[in-house]
């Protein structure tokens, strides 16, 4: 083992610079000396920082070196000696005495330790962001409603958030409280539809949304630019109605709506989606660049081949409809609105 702290400054810089991202981080949380040295390298590290609120508070960090190598930090209340919250126990709050588990996973081996630190969840988050000069939490996933909202709100206060994801039935009982607890964010992922509560979310100004359950009428109150729907609920007739209403001015903020998938009845024709709508057929050989769906950072452009161009009657804005048949009974629908 190399005695790093005994190395000259120049030699230490060389060693630290050639470590993997995760090994740099492990050293940074091990010793303040290494933290300051790694920060001074200014090596432009870029990785994904996710948080999962569940039985435990789980921070998940994927580095740029390898998608199969990642670091996780688990914070859980240790009063009962159990990781899971027992039935009847009050909701948990973050304290200075929460137990911490740190694990570095790389392919088929793990390395880690567990201990009671001098510091709380917020201090750990700020440490992660400080060491690698992070500007935000990329994803916050609420999977269980086990933590006191005031404690979570205080822990996340002032920390920028990119995407909020809510799943499972338990958090939906306090759906609106979760939205008030977490910092403002640009992107929203919802795997269930809690009815009227969800409709109030649709009219907010999320730049993008990914949902699995959506009623057709709710499609018209969405303010988002990017929308992805993964369900078999909409029909060919529904999408024809959507396009006709868009031409008259509905969904003015829409940039890219993607629906997976639309069932095709045996006696129906996919081109009925464009029934009664003037359109121009674009040959498949024609390729155009469009801003890639926002869930695939960094921002990129994708190639749109062919499709059917339509125009909005209110302002002449052009859009392209892409219809991709998958199997005999399924259709993928993509709707791209071009900049002026």
Within a domain: 93: yes
Helix H or strand E segment including 310: strand 301-311
For residue 19, the model assigns a pLDDT of 60
pLDDT at 216 over 60: yes
State the chain's mean pLDDT as an integer. 76
Nearest to 239 by CA among 255, 221, 265, 257: 257
Into how many domains does the chain fold? Answer: 1
Sign of CA dihedral 31, 127, 140, 56: positive
Q: Are 206 and 185 in contact (CB under 8 A)?
A: yes
**Helical pair 121-131 and 32-39, crossing angle rounded to 10 deg:** 40
Sign of CA dihedral 36, 37, 43, 48: negative
Question: What is the mean predicted confidence (pLDDT) over 303-330?
Answer: 90
* Beta-ladder partners of 323: 333
Helices vs strands, H then E, count in the chain: 8, 15
Classify each residue of 75-86 as buried b or exposed e, where b means 16 or more C-beta atoms within 10 Å of its C-beta. Answer: bbbeeeeeeebe
DSSP class of residue 90 equals P
Within a domain: 123: yes
Read off the pLDDT of residues 141-191 as tens digits, 9 standing for 90 and up: 887 777 888 888 888 888 999 888 887 666 566 677 787 888 888 888 876
Is the backbone peptide bond immediately before 261 cis, with ω within 30 degrees of 0?
yes
Q: What is the pTM of this model?
A: 0.73
Read off the pLDDT of residues 16-65 as tens digits, 9 standing for 90 and up: 566 655 555 555 655 555 455 455 444 455 678 888 888 778 887 776 55
Within a domain: 150: no
Question: What is the mean predicted confidence (pLDDT) over 117-137?
Answer: 77
Within a domain: 173: no
The Cα 81–Cα 79 span in angstroms is 6
Beta strands 137-142 and 161-166, pairing class:
parallel
Within a domain: 94: yes
Question: In this predicted model, which residue has the larger pLDDT, 260 or 131?
Answer: 260
Range of the domain at 30: 1-135
Within a domain: 269: no
pLDDT at 229 over 70: yes
Which range among 9-23, 44-58, 246-260, 292-306 shows the weakest confidence by mean pLDDT? 9-23
Within a domain: 295: no
Q: Are 264 and 236 in contact (CB under 8 A)?
A: yes
Provide the token pair at 46: 């870029």
The Cα 141–Cα 41 span in angstroms is 32
Provide the token pair at 289: 């660049």
Q: Are 205 and 186 in contact (CB under 8 A)?
A: no
DSSP class of residue 152 equals H
Within a domain: 161: no
Q: Are 2 and 15 in contact (CB under 8 A)?
A: yes
Read off the pLDDT of residues 81-107 as tens digits, 9 standing for 90 and up: 556 667 777 777 777 767 777 766 665
pLDDT at 259 over 80: yes
């Amino acid at each position: 083992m190399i005695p790093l702290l005994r190395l000259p400054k120049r030699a230490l810089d060389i060693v630290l610079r050639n470590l993997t991202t995760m090994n740099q981080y492990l050293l940074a949380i091990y010793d303040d000396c290494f933290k300051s040295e790694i920060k001074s390298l200014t090596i432009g590290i870029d990785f994904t920082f996710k948080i999962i609120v569940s039985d435990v508070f789980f921070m998940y960090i994927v580095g740029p070196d390898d998608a199969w190598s990642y670091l996780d930090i688990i914070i859980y209340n240790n009063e009962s000696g159990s990781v899971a919250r027992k039935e009847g126990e009050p909701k948990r709050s973050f304290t200075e005495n929460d137990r911490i588990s740190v694990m570095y996973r790389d392919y088929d081996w793990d390395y880690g330790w567990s201990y009671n630190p001098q510091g709380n969840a917020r201090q750990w988050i700020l440490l992660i962001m400080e060491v690698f000069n992070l500007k935000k939490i990329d994803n916050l996933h609420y999977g269980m409603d086990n933590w006191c909202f005031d404690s979570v709100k205080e822990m996340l206060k002032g920390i920028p958030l990119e995407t909020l994801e809510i799943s499972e039935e338990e958090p939906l009982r306090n759906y609106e409280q979760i939205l008030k607890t977490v910092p403002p964010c640009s992107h929203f992922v919802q795997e269930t539809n809690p009815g009227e509560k969800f409709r109030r979310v649709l009219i907010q100004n999320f730049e993008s949304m990914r949902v699995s359950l959506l009623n057709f009428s709710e499609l018209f109150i969405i303010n988002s630019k990017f929308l992805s729907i993964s369900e078999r609920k909409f029909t060919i007739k529904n999408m024809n109605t959507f396009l006709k209403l868009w031409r008259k001015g509905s969904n003015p903020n829409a940039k890219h709506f993607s629906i997976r998938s639309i069932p095709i009845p045996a006696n129906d024709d996919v081109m009925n989606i464009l029934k009664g709508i003037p359109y121009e057929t674009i040959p498949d050989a024609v390729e155009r660049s469009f801003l890639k769906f926002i869930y695939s950072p960094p921002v990129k452009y994708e190639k749109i081949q062919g499709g059917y161009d339509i125009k909005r009657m209110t302002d002449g804005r052009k859009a392209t409809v892409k219809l991709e048949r998958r199997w005999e009974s399924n259709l993928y629908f993509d709707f791209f609105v071009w900049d002026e």
